[in-house]
A and B are shown apart, each in its own frame.
Chain A
Amino acid sequence: MNNREFRGGCLSLGSADELLFGKAPHPVKCGNGLIIGAGRVIPEINFTLPPVEISPSTWPDIEQQYIEMMTGVCERAVDLGAPELLVEFETLPPMTVDPALGASITSLLASILHTVQDRHGIRSALRLTPNDTRDHRRPPRMRSGSYWENMLRLFSAAAGAGADLLAIESTGGKEIHDEALMNADLEGIVYALGILAPSDMHFLWRHIVQICRETGIIASGDTACGFANTAMALASQKMIPRVLAALVRAASVPRGLIAFEEGAVGPSKDCAYEGPFFKTIAGVPISMEGRSAACAHLSPLGNIPMAACDCWSNESVQNVRLLSAQAPVVSMDNLIFDCRLLNRASLDGAAASLTLRNWLEDSDALLDPQAYVLKADVVFAISTAIVQQPTTYLQTRAAVLAAIDALRAGVHSGGLILSAVEMHWLDRLERQASLLPEDETQFTNQMLKKYEGSPYYPTEYGL
């Protein structure tokens, strides 16, 4: 797919009813013939270590644990007759800081997956997600230094180690976003997501896509995990208003689109709950997680993320023993059965899929604004507002304004219940949003002055 720009008013879907699980306008073929977004929902399993120090003395045990986890999930997939499987290996920070470690585990996992492919014919692929370690240094150096260079080394080693897709949870702008989030400072949030992060996304994804093209691997996608999922986690802990977390989700969409502008093709990362916007605007397949990710974190988004997913993921699960089996095997089990249901519905045609999709949406959307903004009609409305704007800042601003309108309309129609405290915050945030200027230069200059002396380097963002 050539580089594209998502401006000028065009969406990839013709209507909200086309936003369905299993189907994306631009499916992705990967691994040994696995096709994502062509009609079937595919389980995407991810797993991680229990509490353990990563050191040379523990490394043999760590390798053994990864072998155990990968073997366990593959055996369960075979036992349940799963025809497709996507495995994500998200490195732990020391495995990106030392790319040889990350490549070594990737190689180990790929080898097991290839054996399963050969023996059982499961169409499958391995996604490698290195860490964005640039913020190990504070303030972060985004475009130089050993952390950046080692990230590049792991990106470059991915294909040789056996990965089929490359992804990342990038963090450009997070140093401003974190503080703005805790202060419910909408202009700071928009500065981070609409000015700083886009600059970094262009820089980062240009490199990732180039490496992927050179090494014959698929550039999949990014996630606003460090932004919108942080907001979601804080809202779940009653630290920030849920309406703020919903606005951050919407505001994170234009940032995420930049990966696809630079040439990524999907599937987007599982923890990118903004995925339905990517499918609507860019037409790429998306991975999603919901109740299946309760092993990693709690959220109010249990069923609705499933409504438009192409891959259905568990986010991550620790390798601990449960009554039945190791936890990764249990997650694999759950994901496969969820996918069976979705794929069975698809067999009965679009009307059946739409019914199930609507049930998945309606069972969550009434109770939380973060779920409400993921309803297909709301996604479609916000996406329409986004693509009408010419720059990422204006798209971010438009996403916030459209999300506020949608939440108000939802409350008015009875489709969304908000407490008095949340309504009070919606009013406060709307007042803040109304002050976001249309003039991007004016806004940038205001923010440069506001954050003078803050722990970030504007020059790392081209400012």
Chain B
Amino acid sequence: MRDNPLYNAVLDGDARGAKAAVEEALAIGADPQDLLSSYMIPAMDEVGKRFDDGEYFVPELLISARAMKAGMELLRPLLAETGAKPVGTVVVGTVRGDLHDIGKNLVASMLEGGGFKVIDLGVDVGPEKFTAAITEHHPDIVAMSALLTTTMPGMKATIEELTRAGIRNSVKVMIGGAPVTRRYAAEIGADAFSESASGAVREAKSLLNA
């Protein structure tokens, strides 16, 4: 694995190198799905491991995620042709009244790096907007974040709105943010909780058994 230029380019956060390695591999007939699952996702897994071990910080995660994305831009059309799908689709946003989006943006980047398709609704997202996005995009997961204790109730309100709209059972709900706890997630009926961005990717994969 470590001898593979695509794996190394993603691991080192070399976007140009990742793109070049994908181009070269495709030119000699490599299988797009194999490039993704054998080299790119394992490279991101290694990046996540190094982050968890304290060897890497978020900047390194982000440049690796960008390298992954550069390679994926070439692979995505080919994967679509073969019917291959992303690991899953996630709708993300901060809840109504909450403008703190660093954590949300990080989760979005990490999910993309982990092979998910991400639909980012931005900040200050009300229950009705989450509901509309779920109806439109049919995601596997909706991920909400809040930094303020006074905006946390927006998570509960959104889950209640999903229930009212009859789509609660069609999507998994994941929540996070500084004041949010696992207990709160259980109280409001969320399916998953994470206190970190890398944990969010693990939780998302676990929710989908990916």
Least CB distance, A52 to chain B, in whole angstroms: 6
Q: Taking the complex as formed, is A116 at the interface, i.e. its CB lies under 8 A from any CB of chain B?
A: no
Least CB distance, A293 to chain B, in whole angstroms: 14
The 8 A CB mask of B97-112 against A (1 = contact, 0 = none) is: 1010110011000000
Asked whether, in the complex, the Cβ of B97 is within 8 Å of the Cβ of A94, the reply is yes
Least CB distance, A46 to chain B, in whole angstroms: 14
The listed residue (A48, A52, A93) touching B153 by CB distance below 8 A is A52
Across-interface contacts of B150 in A (CB, < 8 A): 49, 51-54, 92, 94
Q: Taking the complex as formed, is A240 at the interface, i.e. its CB lies under 8 A from any CB of chain B?
A: yes
With contacts A183-B62, A230-B102, A237-B196 taken as known, whether A51 is within 8 angstroms of B57 at the C-beta atoms is no
Least CB distance, B121 to chain A, in whole angstroms: 12
Asked whether, in the complex, the Cβ of B149 is within 8 Å of the Cβ of A182, the reply is no
The listed residue (B62, B99, B196) touching A136 by CB distance below 8 A is B99
CB closest chain-A residue, reference B63:
A183
Asked whether, in the complex, the Cβ of B102 is within 8 Å of the Cβ of A51, the reply is no
Asked whether, in the complex, the Cβ of B54 is within 8 Å of the Cβ of A182, the reply is no
Across-interface contacts of A182 in B (CB, < 8 A): 58-59, 62, 102, 105-106
Q: Taking the complex as formed, is B123 at the interface, i.e. its CB lies under 8 A from any CB of chain A?
A: yes
The listed residue (A53, A136, A230, A234) touching B124 by CB distance below 8 A is A136
Within 8 A of B (CB), among A175-219: 178-179, 181-185
Within 8 A of A (CB), among B31-85: 54-55, 57-59, 62-63
Across-interface contacts of A93 in B (CB, < 8 A): 97, 99, 148
Q: Taking the complex as formed, is B122 at the interface, i.e. its CB lies under 8 A from any CB of chain A?
A: yes
Across-interface contacts of B178 in A (CB, < 8 A): 233, 297
Interface size on A, residues (CB 8 A): 32
Q: Taking the complex as formed, is B189 at the interface, i.e. its CB lies under 8 A from any CB of chain A?
A: no
- Give the complex CA separation of A48 and B149 in angstroms: 9
Q: Taking the complex as formed, is A241 at the interface, i.e. its CB lies under 8 A from any CB of chain B?
A: yes
Asked whether, in the complex, the Cβ of B57 is within 8 Å of the Cβ of A238, the reply is yes
Least CB distance, A116 to chain B, in whole angstroms: 27
Across-interface contacts of B124 in A (CB, < 8 A): 136
Least CB distance, B190 to chain A, in whole angstroms: 15
- Give the complex CA separation of A300 and B204 in angstroms: 31
Least CB distance, B210 to chain A, in whole angstroms: 24
- Give the complex CA separation of A297 and B179 in angstroms: 10
Q: Taking the complex as formed, is B192 at the interface, i.e. its CB lies under 8 A from any CB of chain A?
A: no
Q: Taking the complex as formed, is A390 at the interface, i.e. its CB lies under 8 A from any CB of chain B?
A: no
CB closest chain-A residue, reference B184:
A51
Within 8 A of A (CB), among B134-163: 148-150, 152-153, 157
The listed residue (A94, A135, A184, A237) touching B99 by CB distance below 8 A is A135
- Give the complex CA separation of A237 and B153 in angstroms: 24
- Give the complex CA separation of A94 and B99 in angstroms: 12
Least CB distance, A333 to chain B, in whole angstroms: 22
Across-interface contacts of B99 in A (CB, < 8 A): 93, 135-136
Q: Taking the complex as formed, is A352 at the interface, i.e. its CB lies under 8 A from any CB of chain B?
A: no
The listed residue (A51, A179, A181, A234) touching B149 by CB distance below 8 A is A51
CB closest chain-A residue, reference B198:
A239
- Give the complex CA separation of A38 and B178 in angstroms: 38
Asked whether, in the complex, the Cβ of A51 is within 8 Å of the Cβ of B122, the reply is no
Asked whether, in the complex, the Cβ of A234 is within 8 Å of the Cβ of B58, the reply is yes
Least CB distance, A184 to chain B, in whole angstroms: 4
Asked whether, in the complex, the Cβ of A49 is within 8 Å of the Cβ of B106, the reply is no
- Give the complex CA separation of A342 and B184 in angstroms: 40
The listed residue (B58, B59, B149, B196) touching A49 by CB distance below 8 A is B149
Asked whether, in the complex, the Cβ of B57 is within 8 Å of the Cβ of A239, the reply is yes
Q: Taking the complex as formed, is A50 at the interface, i.e. its CB lies under 8 A from any CB of chain B?
A: yes
Across-interface contacts of A138 in B (CB, < 8 A): 122-123
Across-interface contacts of A51 in B (CB, < 8 A): 149-150, 152-153, 179
Least CB distance, B172 to chain A, in whole angstroms: 23
CB closest chain-B residue, reference A242:
B57
Asked whether, in the complex, the Cβ of A421 is within 8 Å of the Cβ of B54, the reply is yes
- Give the complex CA separation of A181 and B57 in angstroms: 11
Q: Taking the complex as formed, is A117 at the interface, i.e. its CB lies under 8 A from any CB of chain B?
A: no
- Give the complex CA separation of A421 and B59 in angstroms: 13
Asked whether, in the complex, the Cβ of A184 is within 8 Å of the Cβ of B149, the reply is no
- Give the complex CA separation of A182 and B122 in angstroms: 17
- Give the complex CA separation of A425 and B56 in angstroms: 10
Across-interface contacts of B153 in A (CB, < 8 A): 51-53
CB closest chain-A residue, reference B59:
A184
Least CB distance, A418 to chain B, in whole angstroms: 13
Across-interface contacts of B58 in A (CB, < 8 A): 182, 234, 239-240
Across-interface contacts of A53 in B (CB, < 8 A): 150, 153, 157
The 8 A CB mask of A82-100 against B (1 = contact, 0 = none) is: 0000000000111000000
- Give the complex CA separation of A183 and B124 in angstroms: 24
Across-interface contacts of B57 in A (CB, < 8 A): 184, 238-241, 425
Least CB distance, B201 to chain A, in whole angstroms: 14
- Give the complex CA separation of A332 and B127 in angstroms: 38
CB closest chain-A residue, reference B180:
A51
Q: Taking the complex as formed, is A358 at the interface, i.e. its CB lies under 8 A from any CB of chain B?
A: no
Asked whether, in the complex, the Cβ of A50 is within 8 Å of the Cβ of B149, the reply is yes
17 contacts between A and B (CB under 8 A): A48-B149, A49-B150, A51-B149, A51-B152, A53-B157, A92-B148, A94-B150, A182-B58, A182-B59, A183-B63, A184-B57, A184-B59, A238-B54, A238-B57, A239-B106, A240-B59, A421-B54
New A-B contacts (8) at CB < 8 Å, excluding given A52-B149, A93-B99: A51-B152, A52-B150, A92-B150, A178-B102, A185-B59, A234-B58, A240-B57, A421-B54
